[in-house]
Amino acid sequence: MIARRIWRSHRFLRSFTSSSVCAPPFRVPEYHSRSSSSPASRPFLVHTLTLMKWSGGSRSWFSNEAMSIDSNAGLVDVPLAQTGEGIAECELLKWFVKEGDSVEEFQPLCEVQSDKATIEITSRFKGKVALISHSPGDIIKVGETLVRLAVEDAQDALLVTSDSLGIVNPVCSKQKTDDLVGALSTPAVRNLAKDLGIDINVITGTDSVSSKHADVVGGGDSISTIASSFEDKTVPLRGFNRAMVKTMTMATKVPHFHFVEEINCDSLVELKQFFKENNTDSTIKHTFLPTLIKSLSMALSKYPFVNSCFNEESLEIILKGSHNIGVAMATEHGLVVPNIKNVQSLSLLEITKELSRLQHLATNNKLNPEDIAGGTITLSNIGAIGGKFGSPLLNLPEVAIIALGRIEKVPKFSKDGAVYPASIMMVNIAADHRVLDGATVARFCGQWKEYIEKPELLMLQMR
């Protein structure tokens, strides 16, 4: 609901500029000093201010909560900086500050999420928060203003920000103030007005609202507050889910083929049980995955084309020197694929610890861009959730991805016809047919299978 409008008799005309926004001329309420003291020597109080910023014909509404600012301070726009290579936009997850808060250098301002990682944005200046330009859930382009800070020396701030971020808009604030015209509203109301394209300043608020509906526009249209459990719901894709749309769309354009094999995991089960029984570190949890990752790296050493990427423009295959093995992780924030770097140089214990670290960060949505970048091949452990096997799509620019089914006891026949139980896992290797052929993938999988079924060979050849 929009609160009642507050009008004052004294007004002040002031223009606002932004390096990233071209705003049409509009009148801003004026202030007049009611004190005989010098305006430069006393602080002023800024009440709620609603501004309209124009970008490509669309309107966004921002609100400035009441705060006290030193009149000698300058206002500096802090834009969203480039958070990683190829990142053009980020989703704002949450604010750590609110309008009117004092901030120190390097203090966290907000948390944003790109399609690669979650990042904290920190302040480069000491001052006060004058204007928060976006709400959580907004998609912000690189270069757009995140927050406006009141700093002691705007010129110094301009030099620092120009060197580090490239976009700064210092606004002189040496003006006398008193009262301000504006529409008082909550962030939820401002977001609703922005979505509906409504000028919140021309709406006359009411003191109360009907329990069934509220008038939003002058024509009497109403928005029902009675929600039906059968209504459709539109869910915007954000963060990792948004990235998955792009990567999977690109993957469908690549000619895939799949190779399916079953692996006897009796020895793997025994090895895991041995590790558990002899574990002296309660912080370490032994699973099948570290051994599968290490044995995969050993097989890649013999078949380097499986650990490669394809340059479509130059028609070149790049054989990767490091085995950066990615592990697909399903989190409440979406699917993410961090990778363990240089597996060929790590022990089983080191792989176990690194896998645990990545899983913890992924669960808490704290993965760094470095944890995700640079993968050379991916494992998708669908068996941990359920299912015998899956048909994965490539995680480009990698040329292979492997889906691991669950390990289950099934009856098998020996050469003499006797029936015996075996722990069997189905694996499905998806490969880029522009780089790999069926024979190469079959031989590679056979080598990997041998290391899993006979871990003593793995131990013998490990460095």
The catalytic residue positions are 433, 437
In DSSP terms, 426 is beta-bridged to 262
Q: Note whether 361 and 371 are within 8 A (CB).
A: yes
Quote the DSSP letter at residue 237.
-
248: exposed, middle or buried (C-beta count within 10 Å: 0-12, 13-18, 19+)? middle
- How far apart are the C-alpha atoms of 447 and 426, rounded to whole Å? 15
C-alpha dihedral sign at 432, 437, 440, 446: positive
N-to-C CA span, the chain: 67
C-beta of residue 341 within 8 angstroms of C-beta of residue 370 = no
Phi, psi at 251, each rounded to 5°? -65, -35
User: Given the DSSP bridges, would you call strands 325-327 and 377-380 parallel, antiparallel or unpaired?
Assistant: parallel
Q: Are 158 and 130 in contact (CB under 8 A)?
A: no
* Angle, vertex CA 131, rays to CA 162 and CA 168, nearest 5: 10
Q: What CA–CA distances, in Å, run from 196 to 189, 193, 223?
A: 11, 5, 12
Here the tokens at position 430 are 């998806």
| Residue positions counted in the chain | 463
Strands (E), 137-292: 139-141, 145-151, 171-172, 213-215, 222-224, 256-264
Query: What are 123's strand-pairing partners?
Result: none
SS3 137: coil
Backbone angles phi, psi at 364, to 5 degrees: -95, 10
Strands (E), 265-307: none
Q: Which stretches of 25-126 are DSSP H helices?
A: none
Beta bridge partners of 102: 128
